[in-house]
Amino acid sequence: MKKRIKQLLEYIEMYDASDVHFTLQNGQLFVRIRGIDGIKEIKHKLLDENLFHYLKFIANLDLGNSLLPQSGNFSYTFKKEQLQFRFSYLRTMQLQTGVLRILNNHKRFTIEDLSTDPSQIELLKCWLQRSSGLILLSGPTGAGKTTTLHALLERLSTYENKHVITLEDPIEIQSTSYLQLQINEKVDFTYAEGIKQVLRHDPDVIMIGEIRDEATAKQLITAALSGHLVLSTIHAKSCVDVIKRMLDFGVSVLDLKETLCGLTSQRIFKAKDEEKRICIYEMMDEADIARVLKGEPLDESYETMEDKIRLAKQRNQI
């Protein structure tokens, strides 16, 4: 089985992958890998049904309840590096699927590394100087939201000298600069419950890995209104859609006006002439947020994600 795992990890290294998708149907395993060039199907004789079942085993899934959606974590040493993984599993009557996510292969970035646009770096720094408020990051899976979040947290903890506490599920980037807490819904330590507990530890900054439900959204607003700077992520395709999602979660327009100080939407692209990735950001500051909340059109100078992508292509960056 070690040969199978080794072959899989070599593909992960080759494609600089963040996730591996598995589909098991009629005894045949289909494997797709999400890397710098998007999702590609890979084939190898060692990537078979036995590998899929072994991943379920080492992730400590409850094999007796295979009809239930499950996820579990495990570690594996590859080329003298200890890697952390999460394996998520779903089953239907026709097939079994799994997604393997590599948790600790993120490169560390400073805030200056995040964007090629100096004005965006300055805007991020400006947001981080706030003593309270809500900063939300959005984008699809694999867009680099976690990397962006932790670059901002490092800045807050080291440069701004803030007391930072995070709630994450799972902890993907480990840091010694701030306190990181792992969500565990099996023992009812949810995001909503975690926020209640964190507020008792006198934080300056709270980071919530993801807004998943109405309870978490409203707890975040409460934290921001009580004098804390709060950072989190949410699934939305644009900055305007972030506001719509928060309204869908039952957050009032008034509370959003009082708390929202910065929004980003981001996408990852392969650099045109280099083997590296470039993150394209759409950013919305308080003035534009206020316009959206009033139902007014955005200023003509506002650049959407589509505008940013078009500009990057014109500059031969992507």
Structure tokens at 241: 């859609």
Structure tokens at 234: 């949410």
For residue 274, the model assigns a pLDDT of 77
User: For the domain 111-314, what is the CATH superfamily, name and number?
Assistant: P-loop containing nucleotide triphosphate hydrolases (3.40.50.300)
State the sign of the Cα–Cα–Cα–Cα dihedral 213, 214, 216, 217: positive
Asked if residue 137 lies in contact with residue 264, where contact means CB atoms within 8 angstroms, the answer is yes
Q: What is the pTM of this model?
A: 0.84
For residue 49, the model assigns a pLDDT of 97
Q: Where in the chain is the domain with CATH 3.30.450.90?
A: 2-102
For residue 229, the model assigns a pLDDT of 98
| Tens-digit pLDDT profile for residues 197-213 | 999 999 999 999 999 99
| Tens-digit pLDDT profile for residues 15-69 | 888 899 999 999 999 999 998 778 999 999 999 999 999 999 999 999 888 888 9
Residue type, 150: H
Compute the average pLDDT of residues 305-315. Answer: 95
| Tens-digit pLDDT profile for residues 81-123 | 889 999 999 999 899 999 999 887 666 789 999 998 999 999 9
Mean pLDDT in the chain?
Answer: 93
pLDDT > 90: what percent of the chain?
A: 80
DSSP letter for each residue of 107-122: PP--GGGS-S-HHHHH
Q: Which spans in 25-91 are helix H?
A: 49-58
Asked if residue 1 lies in contact with residue 50, where contact means CB atoms within 8 angstroms, the answer is yes
Q: Where in the chain is the domain with CATH 3.40.50.300?
A: 111-314
For residue 293, the model assigns a pLDDT of 97
| Tens-digit pLDDT profile for residues 142-198 | 899 999 999 999 999 999 999 999 999 888 888 999 999 999 888 899 998 999 999
Q: Is the peptide bond before 140 cis (omega within 30 degrees of 0)?
A: no
Specify the CATH number for 2-102; select among 3.30.1330.90, 2.60.40.10, 3.30.450.90, 3.40.50.300: 3.30.450.90
For residue 183, the model assigns a pLDDT of 92
